Structure 1
Amino acid sequence: MRIRTKVSILILLSTLAMVVMLAGVSLLSFRSTSLENEREHGEMASELARNELLLSFLAGDYDHEALEKHIRSHIADLHEIRIVRTQATEKQYGKGTHEPNDAEKIALRTGTSNDRMIETAEGVKYQYITPYYAEKTCLQCHDVNEGTLLGLVNIELDLTDQRASALSSTYALIAAFIVFAIVLGYILRQLLMPIVATATSMRDVVAHAKEGNFSGRMEEGRNDELGQVATQTNHLMDTLEQSFGTIIKEVESMEVHSITTGEGNLLTRTVDSVKTMVGAVRFKQTIEEDRNLGDVYERIFQALTDTFQIKRFSLYEVNHDKQLMKLIYAHGLPEEQTLWCNPEVNVDSSACRACRTAHDVNSEEEENICTSFAGNRICSKDEIHLHHFCIPLMQGGRIGVVLQIIHADSEAAEIKKKLPFIRTYFSEASPVIESKRLTEVLHASTLKDPMTDLYNRRFLDQFKSRLIASAQRSKKKIGLLMCDVDFFKDTNDTYGHKVGDTVLIATANILAKAIRPSDYVIRYGGEEFLVVISEAEEEKTLEIAERIRKTLEENQFNAEGSTFNKTLSIGVAIYADDSDDLDKCIHLADTALYVAKDTGRNQVIRYQEGMEKEDSDNEG
């Protein structure tokens, strides 16, 4: 209920209560006063009747009816008088004019006076009944003892006119009270309405402020306390509006992308901005302490699924040197699907519009803006229409990663709300991702041969413990192929080192293509290469070695207008068949390689027990 209504009801009820109270007090006062006056009047009339009765007895006149007429003529407002005898009086003088009624019988029985008001159709009557007893004077006429109850006098006085007069006075008084109450109510209303208006205005201002809108103001102009309240409230709203406006502008200035739309609840926007910035900063602090880039990507995955509750998304890492995009993860795909886009984006980064243009890609603005998106084709059976929003993240002046968010039509509004917050998280994560990637690149550069892009011996030194642990855990063998390009020195001497480098690079490519992703090729030194085959079987390892040898043998090289072929000698050893020491096995593969070279080259030789001794003899 509005306070204005409450005040009006309060004034009305107060006025009615005052009128009812005054009227009730007046009526009660009239009744009380009337009863008291009429009681005195009744006592006087009863005393007069008793005296007249005494005189009539002394005079020998026992006619009560004539006496009653005489008394009625001398007492104003007397409606009726009844003189009732007791048995003692009736015994001496006979029955009287009146038989006692119920009220009179009670008075005769109790011997006490009583009075009451009687409401009749004719009006209001006051009845006063008083008994009289034999006194010394009465003994002259009555043959009874002193103090004997002789009878009673019942007097009824007519109060109808007095009541009418009293009611008229009461009505006039009530009318005066009503007029007074109306005037008082008007005065109170005039006094209270400014307070009500101020309270209502303040309520509206506070309600808007609660919703984050500090633009509400109270009307000023009064020179009293209410005016001071309005002035101070407006000053407070000015301060809050400027303060929160400044805060949100400062927060947004710290972000690459504004997280607000500039509309709606300023308080909520400010709180959301601060919360997002705090969350983003904490997220950055957390990923800065992660061990490697893989851990950072995993934490981004958790943020997308848990914090932002995104159902479908992809994250790609861009390799500008090789012009390809590496899929980090794709979430929410149907079964047996691996990408939300066409597979060409993995081998050609220019197929991704976001990567190619370095701009956001939003299919809600243009349906087929990126032809590589395959979400609707993939989910055609689910009868849902999908949109995608791709965000390229700049690192070091070029695209580092691309985040792709996929959503259905029904999720568009919710995704639109979340995108600014996701951008803020990614903006904070960008320098960390760039730093982690640079660290991994620098670390990888120390583990790889710059010319062939193969791992070097330092990589083998660092990772052989993992290879051994993996083999022991899976109870699998490791195939070791020690490869050496035959007569490589002659190639350098004949065609030059540049052509020799071309031979080494071609050999490295052949080796890399011949193995699985779980296997490794290591440039062991010079023209020597070590191929490490995990979960190997001897027969399969020898097949791979032979395929490598044959592929290089068939490959033709061009130099100074002529072509030539190169061959490869390969020594094979198996960990842990030949030895439970990996370094020892590598040495045994190298021993088998020297046997291959000593016995004709361009062949694959499996290490056999005793070769070490033969090799030592040959060296001797």
Structure 2
Amino acid sequence: MLDVPVNGGGDRMTLQKKSLWFTVASSLVLIVLFSVVTVQSFNYFSLNTIREQGRMAAEMLRITLTEQMRAGVIEERETLFKRMRTIPGLVDVRVLRGEPVIHQFGPGKNGELAQLDMEKRVLATGQWEEAVVAVEDTPVYRITIPYVASSGGALNCMQCHDVPEGAINGAVTLGFSLEEMKRSEMFAIAPIAVLLLLFGLCLGYFLNRLFRPIMETAERMKTVVGNAGRGDFSGRVDSTSKDEIGEIATQTNSLMETLEQSMGRISTSIGSLGALSFKKSGQSLLAHTVHVVDEMVGAARFKQAVENDLNLEEIYIRIRRVMSDHFGLRRFALYCVDPEKHAMSPVFVEGVDRAGDIWCDQEILVDCELCRAKRTADCVSSINNLHICNRYGGASRGGDEFVHVCIPMMLSGRVGGVLQLLMTEEECREHPDIEQTASIYLNEAAPVIEARQLMQSLKDTAMRDPMTGLYNRRFLEDYIEVLTATTVRQETTLGILMVDVDFFKQVNDTYGHDVGDQVIKGLAELLKQAVRTSDLAIRFGGEEFMLLLPDTDAEGSMLLAERIRKEMESTLFTTPQGPLKKTLSVGVAMFPGERNEGFWASVKYADTALYQAKDQGRNRSLMFDPSMWKEDGQY
């Protein structure tokens, strides 16, 4: 995004080429324009000169012919014409007779009659005409000038011609070759073209001097900006002039110095983060800095979100969404470490074929020390070391094409979890720094997860009996609404067992409280082993316990009550005073009852059945029956 290409591209015209083409084009335009103007001017001057020469020659010819008529040698006029044709440049001389002369003297010799359309028009209108024609591929300028009869001036036409004033006696046609004029034209243009070429060279030289600082500054700026795109801000632009170009160079140097100092501090800060090195990402410093800042901003927002999450489940869901939505991964897993049991449990596992599968050997769930990331408290990556972890089981699930990265989640100096990422080669290229960026999110979530675990632990401690580890009455008060609502919604029954040790006070009085505690703990273990995972064992108070059996009918509840009673009856407690046996009395009731009364009413029914069992001799189990009510309606 921020990488700046050093090369401008082979097809792009540089400033130097532009100045060269401008110089050449401007010189050619000037040469063409000056040549056209010179040719036009020369042609105009030449034609005008020839035109004046033709008029002069026509007048001289008229005078000569008049004198020949006076001298009586008019018949020798052809000789005059031949001599005139020997004049350089004059290729055609013809005298034409007009109608008045033809009428008076006849048609004359051959060639003295009008032959060309231009000649006929001149004899008809009395207006001279001119034209440039090609005679045997040679350009010829031809002009036809009329002789108009006049009695004024040095020559009086009326003395020889019997014509009226203003009559057109004839005309003269003169032809001048333009070959010499063309040669003169080329000789005239050549020096101008040479001068213009010299002017173009001088112009190019001065333009080069003018554009050179601009081109040098532009080239240097291209190099400096290109290096800056790769993270090198040490480049500077030499200021070769004191004009606007020099000011641009100075301001660019000031900007680069500021960037060098600022990015240097940012680079140092990024380097202090350890693994977040832009060299590993393959990006430029600018691009990597923007990427890292974006990830940090995203991680900060992620932390704000998880801090407002209600419990661990919501936090884990958010971590899963980051892996799938933000990073676009499809195979990953999160494991929690139980330091007391030295075991691990999967929070979620994505990408496996069957529920319950994980991407590693199942043994790590039993012994967390088998997990390399947990044992070393360091990131384990197979990107550069394919077989780094022997417990990775991806090959057995068709995951040979995947690399795996396992990132430990540190909680108070210990590994509290492990985030496992599996990627293809393409995904690795898309996320070259996945280890670092995923760690950012995991590190932001870690303290929140630890706080939620601590709160959960404190809550569990407050809701469990410290002696037996069973839930206490406070837990029952908090949880019972959910349990009863589920029972009613599913239209099932909940078995309630009230369990009490017979003659427990005698144990404390005879054997001491230590033995009494031993009996309580032994009964608690017996209850834990007897109930299902969905059942709840609660120390209701003192030597009295409660069992809640979801989705259990009256018969099942009584069967469990009898099994517990018999197991307690057969249990032998060792005391300093000798072996000790104790019995139980169990009262059983069902929720909802026959009258659909509330849960606590059903608890009262079970308690009533318990006391009935004690009244009937203890060491027995009784199901509540309405006949156990007293006459006043009380139990």
Query: How high is the TM-score relative to the length of structure 2?
Result: 0.88
Q: Where in structure 2 are the equivalents of 1:377-392 lying within 5 Å? A: 377=396, 379-380=397-398, 384-392=400-408
Deviation, 1:119, is 4.6
Deviation, 1:488, is 2.9
- Distance, in Å, in 2 between the alignment partners of 1:563 and 1:209 is 87
Deviation, 1:154, is 0.9
1:328 aligns with 2:347: yes
- Distance, in Å, in 2 between the alignment partners of 1:252 and 1:227 is 36
- Distance, in Å, in 1 between the alignment partners of 2:223 and 2:76 is 86
Q: Match for residue 258 of structure 1?
A: 276
1:451 aligns with 2:467: yes
1:125 aligns with 2:140: yes
Contact kept? 1:314, 1:404, Cα under 8 Å: yes
Match of 2:59 among 34, 47, 57: 47
Contact kept? 2:405, 2:435, Cα under 8 Å: no
Q: Which amino acid aligns with 2:546?
A: L
Match of 1:146 among 135, 159, 165: 165
Deviation, 1:220, is 5.1
Q: Where in structure 2 are the equivalents of 1:89-488 lying within 5 Å? A: 89-96=101-108, 97-98=110-111, 99=113, 100-120=115-135, 123-136=138-151, 137-210=156-229, 212-219=231-238, 226-250=245-269, 253=272, 255=273, 258=276, 260-261=278-279, 264-377=283-396, 379-380=397-398, 384-488=400-504
Q: Match for residue 69 of structure 1?
A: 81
Structure 1 residues 365 and 208: CA distance shift in structure 2, 3 A: closer
1:603 aligns with 2:620: yes
Contact kept? 1:407, 1:415, Cα under 8 Å: no
Structure 1 residues 163 and 414: CA distance shift in structure 2, 3 A: closer
After alignment, is 570-579 or 69-78 more displaced?
A: 69-78
Deviation, 1:61, is 5.4
SS of alignment partner, residue 536 of structure 1: coil
SS of alignment partner, residue 450 of structure 1: coil
Contact kept? 1:454, 1:521, Cα under 8 Å: yes
Q: Match for residue 528 of structure 2?
A: 512
- Distance, in Å, in 2 between the alignment partners of 1:557 and 1:368 is 54
Q: Match for residue 49 of structure 2?
A: 37
SS of alignment partner, residue 589 of structure 1: helix
Structure 1 residues 8 and 472: CA distance shift in structure 2, 3 A: same
Deviation, 1:288, is 1.1
Q: Which amino acid aligns with 2:553?
A: E
After alignment, is 4-13 or 260-269 more displaced?
A: 260-269
Contact kept? 2:58, 2:172, Cα under 8 Å: yes
Write out per-residue CA displacement over residues 516-551 of structure 1, whole angstroms, 9 at most, x where no aligned residue. Answer: 433322111112111112233333333333333344
Which residues of structure 1 form unaligned runs of 5+? none
Write out per-residue CA displacement over residues 473-523 of structure 1, whole angstroms, 9 at most, x where no aligned residue. Answer: 222222211122333333334443333333323322332333343332211
Q: Match for residue 523 of structure 1?
A: 539
Q: Match for residue 80 of structure 1?
A: 92
SS of alignment partner, residue 155 of structure 1: strand
Query: How high is the TM-score relative to the length of structure 1?
Result: 0.90
Deviation, 1:562, is 5.0
- Distance, in Å, in 1 between the alignment partners of 2:437 and 2:302 is 12
Which residues of structure 2 form unaligned runs of 5+? 1-12
- Distance, in Å, in 2 between the alignment partners of 1:81 and 1:368 is 113
Contact kept? 1:573, 1:606, Cα under 8 Å: yes
- Distance, in Å, in 2 between the alignment partners of 1:374 and 1:462 is 42
SS of alignment partner, residue 132 of structure 2: strand
Deviation, 1:143, is 3.5
Q: Which amino acid aligns with 2:338?
A: N
Q: Which amino acid aligns with 1:105?
A: K
Structure 1 residues 87 and 298: CA distance shift in structure 2, 3 A: same
SS of alignment partner, residue 569 of structure 1: strand
Q: Which amino acid aligns with 1:33?
A: F
- Distance, in Å, in 2 between the alignment partners of 1:186 and 1:270 is 46
Write out per-residue CA displacement over residues 287-306 of structure 1, whole angstroms, 9 at most, x where no aligned residue. Answer: 11122222212111111111
Deviation, 1:286, is 1.5
Q: Which amino acid aligns with 2:276?
A: S
1:569 aligns with 2:588: no
Write out per-residue CA displacement over residues 574-610 of structure 1, whole angstroms, 9 at most, x where no aligned residue. Answer: 1113443000001111111222233243333211112
Contact kept? 1:354, 1:360, Cα under 8 Å: yes
Structure 1 residues 260 and 73: CA distance shift in structure 2, 3 A: closer
Deviation, 1:83, is 1.2
Structure 1 residues 118 and 58: CA distance shift in structure 2, 3 A: same
Deviation, 1:268, is 1.0
Write out per-residue CA displacement over residues 166-189 of structure 1, whole angstroms, 9 at most, x where no aligned residue. Answer: 312321221232233223323332
Write out per-residue CA displacement over residues 351-386 of structure 1, whole angstroms, 9 at most, x where no aligned residue. Answer: 323223322222445545444432222x13xx6433
Give the root-mean-square deviation of aligned CA atoms.
3.0
Percent identity over the alignment? 38
Deviation, 1:109, is 4.6
Q: Which amino acid aligns with 2:47?
A: L
- Distance, in Å, in 2 between the alignment partners of 1:374 and 1:551 is 44
Paired residues, number: 614
Q: Which amino acid aligns with 2:148?
A: Y
Q: Which amino acid aligns with 1:14?
A: S
Contact kept? 1:68, 1:82, Cα under 8 Å: no
Contact kept? 1:479, 1:533, Cα under 8 Å: yes
- Distance, in Å, in 1 between the alignment partners of 2:222 and 2:52 is 64
Structure 1 residues 88 and 476: CA distance shift in structure 2, 3 A: farther
- Distance, in Å, in 1 between the alignment partners of 2:218 and 2:331 is 51
Structure 1 residues 589 and 161: CA distance shift in structure 2, 3 A: same
- Distance, in Å, in 1 between the alignment partners of 2:274 and 2:335 is 21
SS of alignment partner, residue 341 of structure 1: coil
